[in-house]
Structure 1
């Protein structure tokens, strides 16, 4: 492969999260690696590769490593849904991570809780310029979005800490424990911090964009599958496409 090519990677964990984007992206070719399908295309003036990471931190780390070592990726955009934790973070809102943390990382007493052994930090920062662009674009997209029947209020954009772990957080007790331990966390999901660690190790800029599908508690406010297909997947398409159109080539 020509290493001069610096592709933009678009990653999601579940097929429903990537469906609208794959339908809009011009077809080119597919490559199979490690049981994953990588869709390669030219879109919005960029060489693009899209892939499903699968669910969980190990799956996300494997997928990200493949992107960076076999597909000459220079920037990574992760998009999908998450549970809302922060006050005022509501279903339908979009959270853009400026930092990511593994909430189930605990190597104490050898290291402080949450700290990544060998790195000396617990939070990994997303690329500031890329985050700023995504926040701006997401705000513009949501300003134009019509209030969907699944939403109770107009969606908003938030920027801050997103936490990840190999636990599907869906009880009030679990979300309360996370809020107590990490009061500035805006959202919880299962892949972003793993992708962040691989990108950090390789020195590759990344951004994580999450649409809030629930409040990570006992109350199911919306039909999840319908929400992902009718709201989150469409947000992902609109935001990613707009980012690509403004991203320097």
Structure 2
């Protein structure tokens, strides 16, 4: 296992099948927990990691999405960036991730299980999670490339409440991607804000 690639997951269940000798960080759920945990790790070991690979589950915002995705764009959907910019406080709420598959991942601290909210998000994104944008923000600050690997676990509706039952199969797919892709080690530039 490469010791210069940091695998990041929100929960132990999502990383259950990652090889034991991998560099693994479990952050906890949500933007604050994930940003805090990743910041601590990168600050404690400056220059150690050539890549962060965030593995995890995501809700699909469109019925035709299923399986594994490598998002190219990450947006923070619950930040009022336009309003803050109008008040004179511009903030970044979108990050481009080189080498992705074209999908857009929307991140927010709300567990999306409501069809109305899902439909509003679907106008801007393909998938939804609770950590991606925070991790992209931290990696941009530390100038470390990040790869997102997300397995669809639900359709961001009532099926989201069955999320725990989808975790083991998703964890197997995520671990298989890590091994098959050689930990996502491809030459890429850092994430762009």
State the TM-score, normalizing by the size of structure 2.
0.84
Match of 1:9 in 2: 6
- For the pair 1:89 / 2:89, whether they are aligned, the reply is no
Count of residues in correspondence between the two structures: 182
Aligned twin of 2:179: 241
- Root-mean-square deviation (CA, aligned residues, Å) is 2.5
Q: Deviations over 1:205-248 (max 9, x none)?
A: 00111100110012x2894323211x101011100122226726
> Which one has the largest radius of gyration?
1
- Equivalent in 123, 144, 159 of residue 94 of structure 2: 123
Structure 1's 85 and 247: CA in aligned 2 closer, same or farther, altered over 3 A?
A: same
Q: Counterparts of 1:94 and 1:187 in 2: how far apart (Å)?
A: 11
Moved over 4 A (4+): none
SS of the residue aligned with 2:62?
coil
Map 1:27-46 → 2, pairs under 5 A: none
Whose strand fraction is larger, Structure 1's or Structure 2's? Answer: 1
1:202 aligned onto 2:171 = no
SS of the equivalent of 1:226 reads helix
User: Which one of 9, 27, 43 corresponds to residue 69 of structure 1?
Assistant: 43
1:67·1:73 contact (CA, 8 Å) conserved in 2? no
Q: Report which stretch shifted further, 48-57 or 171-180.
A: 171-180
* Structural mapping, 1:153-192, within 5 Å: 159-180=102-123, 182=124, 185-192=125-132
In the alignment, which residue of structure 2 is the partner of 1:140? none
User: Unpaired segments of 5 or more residues in structure 2?
Assistant: 188-193
How does the TM-score come out when normalised to structure 1? 0.66
